């Protein structure tokens, strides 16, 4: 899942990018409101991690920018301002969660996963479809009860499809979920990942919808 992190402290921003990357997220990182606006205009994200105190404004301005455009992307506020009234103001402005500094990175990753899960309408943290189970928290997978070895990209493709069972997911959306700004995307990258997944899960597990994208096989098919 691709997320946007907005944080003006360069050391903390690097740490968040690295830590959340290791937790399985594709991370785009910016340090100002203006850069956040540009990113949000150009890209869809699974979740936004948003610092409140930024050099050119407040994170609440960025949050308002999103909500005024009817953009329901989950937002986790991250700030040293952790008074009750601050939390109330952030949540009432449309945030989905509020994490005070200092924080535990594993807990932040869990809160990002939870916010994204609620945003997508999933109650369980485990994604299941046709004998495959994905655990985004542990980044583990199984097929018919047996451990399934997947690369990070393969896991990302399968996760993006299993978060939208029954839907056709465009190739561009899969690429966006897998690759950040600094990563070059080869033209056939998604095709290669899908080919590898089919070799592990069966040729019919992922269907190609010509000209539109990919979708999972129907349950029971």
Closest Cα to residue 132, out of 57, 206, 207? 206
Query: Is 136:92 a contact under the CB 8 Å cutoff?
Result: no
Q: What residues pair up with 76 in beta bridges, in sequence order?
A: 49, 97
**Top-confidence residue, 181 or 197:** 197
Domain 127-216 has CATH 1.10.10.10: yes
Q: pLDDT tier at 121 (50, 70, 90 boundaries)?
A: confident
Q: What CATH architecture applies to the domain 2-120?
A: 3-Layer(aba) Sandwich (3.40)
The arithmetic mean of pLDDT across residues 82-87, rounded, is: 84
Residue corresponding to tokens 């690759």: 179
Closest Cα to residue 100, out of 112, 92, 89, 108? 108
pLDDT of residue 183: 79
Omega cis (within 30) before 102: yes
Q: What is the pLDDT of residues 67-81, one digit of tens each?
A: 999 999 999 999 888
pLDDT at position 220 over 70:
no
Average pLDDT along the chain: 92
Domain ranges of the chain: 2-120, 127-216
pLDDT at position 156 over 90:
yes
């Amino acid at each position: 899942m691709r997320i946007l992190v907005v944080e003006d402290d360069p050391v903390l921003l690097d740490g968040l990018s690295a830590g959340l990357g290791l937790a399985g997220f594709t991370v785009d990182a910016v340090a100002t409101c203006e850069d956040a606006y540009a990113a949000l205009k150009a890209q869809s994200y699974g979740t936004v991690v948003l610092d409140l105190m930024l050099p050119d404004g407040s994170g609440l301005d960025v949050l308002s920018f999103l909500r005024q455009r009817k953009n329901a992307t989950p937002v986790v506020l991250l700030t040293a301002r952790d008074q009750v009234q601050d939390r109330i103001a952030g949540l009432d402005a449309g945030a989905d969660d509020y994490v005070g500094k200092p924080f535990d990175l594993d807990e932040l990753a869990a809160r990002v996963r939870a916010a994204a899960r609620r945003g997508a309408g999933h109650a369980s943290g485990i994604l299941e479809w046709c004998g495959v189970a994905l655990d985004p928290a542990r980044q583990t997978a199984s097929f018919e009860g047996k451990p399934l070895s997947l690369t990070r990209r393969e896991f990302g493709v399968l996760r993006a499809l299993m978060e939208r069972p029954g839907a056709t997911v465009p190739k561009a959306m899969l690429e966006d979920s897998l690759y950040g700004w600094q990563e070059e995307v080869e033209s056939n990258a998604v095709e290669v990942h899908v080919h590898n997944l089919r070799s592990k899960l069966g040729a019919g597990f992922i269907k190609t919808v010509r000209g539109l994208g990919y979708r999972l096989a129907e349950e029971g098919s």
